[in-house]
Amino acid sequence: MKKLSLIDKFLLIVNLILTIVLLTSFLSYYISPNSIPFISVLSLFQPVLIVLNLIFIIFWILKFNRFFLISALSLLLGFQYVSAFYSFKEKVVMLENDVKIMSYNVRMFNLYKWIVEDNVDQKIFDFINKKDPDILCIQENHSSKKIGFKFPYKFIKVSNIENHTGLAIYSKFKIINSGSLNFLKSTNNAIFVDILKNNDTVRIYNIHLESLKINPKEEKLTQENSEKLKIRLENAFKIQANQSTLILEHQNKINHKSIICGDFNNTAFSWVYKNLKEGKNDAFEKAGKGFGDTYVFPFPFRIDFILTDKKMEVNNFKTYDVKYSDHYPIMARVRF
């Protein structure tokens, strides 16, 4: 092996630091934010860390240097995280008795004109109508006179009285029970319905966990605000952890199958995600393709999920690249 140049020595140090940070971030999947909140913050950067380590693997291989093993072994140890980051093959099974479930954070149907475009609310409505889901879960719902979904059954809950936003579930199947978890000291919330399909009762949760309140277009990371941002993120992750526990406690009181949909405001590398995924399949991992990013961000960021009961079969999953919100809609075809 050739003697390293000064630049290569510097890059080796950077590689080692990135690997240590990546391995530390893997712990966020197992450690609650209520225990060590900072590790949860690291989970947000895990996709970037994975890509940077992949770049170092390629770099050292091209240099014919065995230092590629540093990143390769770390990614091997965290293989489950790499598979959650990217899916290579889409499952395409279209059955007539599949149930199409869509989840979409519509950002109040562009009420405050974040997107400088006419009739965004109508375009969202037209898009959803075209995709024709059987069950529709909407986060940041806002009532509008211009639009109205023509589902026979629905449950709508306003959480934020000031701007009339909240959550909504629309269904082609009869709703026999519904309710709200009413998160304390939060404008976010979780609602549920029990639907009846043939003789099968299934609970659908539509959740919107505590927001991180980060706007990358308006808020730049500086030395002055970095500590405040860190504290804000840690507090948000703690609240999310408590909210996810509340959802699971609520879910454990039923005997029938359930599906959890919604905007988690957190990634597939987090303890909150792991907590909610207990006993469930991630529809994207089972039947999706690509990065599956669901949030408009410079880097792939998957924070919206459809988690199905393990007894259900996921036949297809899609993320739709339509920019009518700061989130992309997702839809799964599920066989109950």
Which residue's entry shows tokens 């792939």?
300
Separation CA 120–CA 132 (nearest Å)? 18
Same domain, 238 and 278: yes
Q: Which of 63, 85, 107 is the last residue of a domain?
A: 85
Note whether 47 and 123 are same-domain residues. no
236 and 183 together in one domain: yes
Q: Is 205 inside any structural domain?
A: yes
Does residue 156 form part of some domain? yes
Per-residue model confidence (pLDDT) at position 226: 77
**Residue 227: predicted pLDDT:** 80
Q: Indicate whether 198 and 251 sit together in one domain.
A: yes
> Looking at the structure, do residues 108 and 229 belong to the same domain, yes or no?
yes
In sequence order, what are the residues at sequence separation of 6 or more whose Cβ sits closer than 8 angstroms to the Cβ of residue 280? 259, 260, 307, 308, 309, 310
Q: Which pLDDT score is estimated for 149?
A: 87
| Residue 213, pLDDT score | 77
Residue 168: CATH number of its domain = 3.60.10.10
Report percent pLDDT > 90 for the chain: 76
Q: Provide the pLDDT for residue 127.
A: 96
Do 168 and 120 share a structural domain? yes
Q: Are residues 114 and 77 in the same domain?
A: no
CA dist., res. 118 & res. 271, Å (int): 40
Q: What is the pLDDT of residue 89?
A: 84
Residues 187 and 60 in one domain: no
Q: Is residue 228 part of a domain?
A: yes
Per-residue pLDDT at 253 exceeds 90? yes
- Whether the per-residue pLDDT at 161 is higher than 80: the answer is no
pLDDT tier, 244 (very low <50, low <70, confident <90, very high otherwise): very high
CA atoms within 13 A of residue 321's CA, in its CB half-sphere: 6
Final residue of a structural domain among 40, 62, 85: 85
**Which of 9-23, 170-184, 223-237, 285-299 shows the lowest mean pLDDT across its residues?**
223-237
Residue 24 shares a structural domain with residue 127: no
- CB contact set of 272 (below 8 Å; sequence gap of 6+): 33, 40, 209, 237, 240, 241, 244, 264, 266
pLDDT for 220: 61
Sorted by sequence, the CB contacts under 8 Å of residue 185 that are 6+ apart come out as none
Contact status, residue 106 vs residue 139, Cβ threshold 8 Å: yes
- Residue 10's domain comprises 6-85
Task: Please report whether residue 91 resides in a domain.
Answer: no
Percent of the chain predicted with pLDDT > 70: 95
pLDDT category, 299, cuts 50, 70, 90? confident
Lowest mean pLDDT among 90-99, 101-110, 212-221: 212-221
Instruction: Report pTM.
Output: 0.92
* Domain end (from 33, 59, 85): 85
The edge-to-edge listing of strands for the beta sheet with 165-171 is: 153-160, 165-171, 135-142, 99-105, 330-335, 313-319
